Structures are given as structure tokens and as C-alpha cells.
Amino acid sequence: MITTTPELFHALATTPVLTGTNLQAQKLIAGEGKVHDFTSGEWIVREGEEGHAFFILVGGEVEVVKRSGTPEEVVLATLKQGEFFGEMCILATMHRAASIRASQPARVIEIKAATLYHLYQKMPEQYSIVLLNLARDLARRLFRIDDAFAARAI
């Protein structure tokens, strides 16, 4: 359980996806979360895999990669501490849209869809805050992609 490690609990509690949630909700999420450590170059998730969890990056840095291992491989983004990835699989039934590779040693907390369901059952208002935070971040990401696409069209 990561609640026994104050540093990790603090990292989770201060991540933007949990902004506005109360201590009870944060403890539920932390108590069901699972910590994973990855070395530089190691794959965390692969494009096309089935997924039922998202990940909060609590240390290090990762790259979001499309078409990994092909001549068309492209790095879409670099994520740093406090950011998250894999949320699309818990918001909609779909396979992983991209691969995630540690670009330096990285520590992540895996939050399963079942954990969010438990939050919904026990604290629906806190669940709503987490979903709103996920939606806001997705909107920000879409806005950046739109800007980048528009800049290339000129």
C-alpha cells in the first residue's frame, strides 16, 4: 500500500488529476493504487493493448509514442511528474491509443478503473471531481494538438 510511504502519498495527493478531492478520496485511491518503477527505455504500456487502468507519473519522465518500432515512429509528447496517461481506456472501452516509454527512470502509480468505480460507489461527488479533472486535461491536450496541427497547415 502506498499510503505507508509519505512521499508517494504526497505526490499522489498533489497531482492535478486529484485537485479538489478530499483526504478520504485520496486515501481510497492511494490505498488501491500500485506503484511501478521503470528503467530508462522500458515500455510501460503498448499501443493496441487492452487497458483497464491509468497511470500517474510521480517521478521521472515518459514519452508518448505512436507506431513504436516502425520507421514511422513518432514521439507525441513528453510527460513529467504530476502528469498522467492511459485515461482514455478507463473513460471509454478501447485499446491503448499510444505506447508509453520511460525516457529516464520513472515511477508511476497505477489506478485501475475498478478503483474509480469504488470511489463512485462511496463518494460520488469526489468521483465527479476526478472525472472533471480528467476532462479538463483532455481538453487542454486537444487544444495543443489543434494548435500544432493548424501551425503545420500554414
The residue with cell 497547415 is: 153
Q: What's the Cα-to-Cα distance from 15 to each of 3, 10, 82, 104, 121, rounded to whole Å?
A: 15, 9, 5, 20, 22
Range of the domain at 127: 2-153
Q: Which residues contact 65 (CB under 8 A, 6 or more apart)?
A: 47, 73, 74, 75, 76, 98, 99, 100, 101
Specify the amino acid at residue 123: M
For 96-144, the pLDDT digits (tens) are 999 999 999 999 999 999 999 999 999 999 999 999 999 999 899 888 8
How do beta strands 84-85 and 34-38 pair? unpaired
| Cα within 13 Å of Cα(150), Cβ side | 6
The count of structural domains within the chain is 1
Q: What is the pLDDT of residues 8-57, one digit of tens each?
A: 777 788 888 999 999 999 989 988 989 999 999 999 999 999 999 999 99
CATH of the domain at 111: 2.60.120.10
